[in-house]
Amino acid sequence: MLRTIIFLTLVFFGGQLYGQSAISGYVPQEDGLPTPQEIYLSQIDLEDLPEYSKAKKVSKTTIAENGFFQFNKESISDTDAIYRLHYMQIGNSKDDSLVVDHLFMLSNRDSIHFKKSVVPFSNYTTTNLGDKEWQRLRQFEHRIREGYYKKEDSLSYAYVGSMKTYAKDSLRILMVKLIGIKQLDHKRLLEKDIAKNPEYYVALLKELKESDIERADYLFLENKLAFLTTEAAERKYATSTIINWLLGFGVVALLFLLFRRRRTNSTAALSDLSRQERNIQGIILEGKSNKEIANELFISLSTVKTHITNIYGKLQVSNRQELLRKMQNS
């Protein structure tokens, strides 16, 4: 009976400890080398990937003599984040020492356990689906780089095409998609792809805004979309301004040509008048009547009327008022 109570107690408290442990596992113990004493846990902001020199240390723990270590859930974020485990492996001399590390994704809803292995962190299990997908993405990226490392000209094209296709067709976790996009940005290939596929990135940004991912993690994408949208709008405005200017210039030029043609027609019509008709036109403009014109030029009234009819026809007017306006505008 006593043994049963002790066993159940150990199971209960062991379960409690396991439930509080988010990260656990073993580091390898190499023959002839001391076991590392401490292991560190750091969180990496998405904007610092793939470099992690700015990683923030969130916790450290002691490594047991058998190589076991663990971190509880209090050190882990509520949402998926990128973490780095690392420790210093002491060699036979100071120069032989090296840093052993591993990057992974985790939230405090999940756990990860590193099994005993000759190669540090190479064999582990995790309940975080994002980490499983991210590790596959990293392996895929590594294969791309291996296949094209000798072809610098084709690397950018292959990388963008392959990574974007893989992200669209194979990735389901939004955080992992964002990491893939961040990789494009790190290689200065993102703006080019946004220009070619704006709809995809606008839809992705909308999805990110509706998720629980912090805005700081996707702010780089939001800024680039805003910049490219503004740039496109400015180009459109500049084009519209040029078109409007050209249209305005065309209207002015057309009006000038019409005015010039009108003046030319008026001048041509005036040149068609005979000497006597020009004399009569001048007297009409002085406001004199037909009888006064006849007396001044010593011609009959009927002759004056005939000349006036000819003047109206040649200048395309029908009365004295129209003749006066035409002469004022010419």
Q: In angstroms, rounded to a whole number, what is the distance separating the alpha carbons of residues 137 and 319?
A: 91
155: its two tokens: 């690397």
For helices 275-285 and 320-329, the axis angle rounded to 10 degrees is 100
What are the φ/ψ torsions at residue 114 (nearest 5 degrees)?
-95, 120
pLDDT of residue 64: 92
Domain 20-127 architecture:
Sandwich (2.60)
What single-letter DSSP state applies at residue 93? S
Mean pLDDT of the chain: 79
pTM: 0.59
Which of 52, 109, 115 shows the shortest CA–CA distance to 83?
52
- 40-54, 67-81, 103-117, 242-256: range with lowest mean pLDDT: 242-256
- What is the average pLDDT across 60-84? 92
pLDDT(243) > 60: yes
For helices 320-329 and 301-315, the axis angle rounded to 10 degrees is 50
- For 69, counting Cβ atoms within 10 Å of its Cβ (0-12 exposed, 13-18 middle, 19+ buried), the class is buried
Q: Find the DSSP H helices in the chain.
A: 2-20, 129-148, 152-169, 174-186, 190-196, 198-209, 215-272, 275-285, 290-297, 301-315, 320-329
Question: Boundaries of CATH 1.10.10.10 in the chain?
Answer: 270-329
Q: Which residues pair with 84 in a beta bridge?
A: 42, 103
Q: Which residue has the higher pLDDT, 6 or 49?
A: 49
pLDDT of residue 316: 83
pLDDT band at 129 (very low <50, low <70, confident <90, very high): very high
Dump pLDDT digits (tens) for 165-217: 777 677 888 899 888 888 788 778 788 888 888 888 899 999 999 998 888 88
Question: Boundaries of CATH 2.60.40 in the chain?
Answer: 20-127
Domain 270-329 architecture:
Orthogonal Bundle (1.10)
pLDDT band at 234 (very low <50, low <70, confident <90, very high): very low
Portion of the chain with pLDDT greater than 70, in percent: 76
Q: How far is CA 203 from the centre of its chain?
A: 12
Please report where in the chains the tokens 């006597």 appear, as a residue.
276
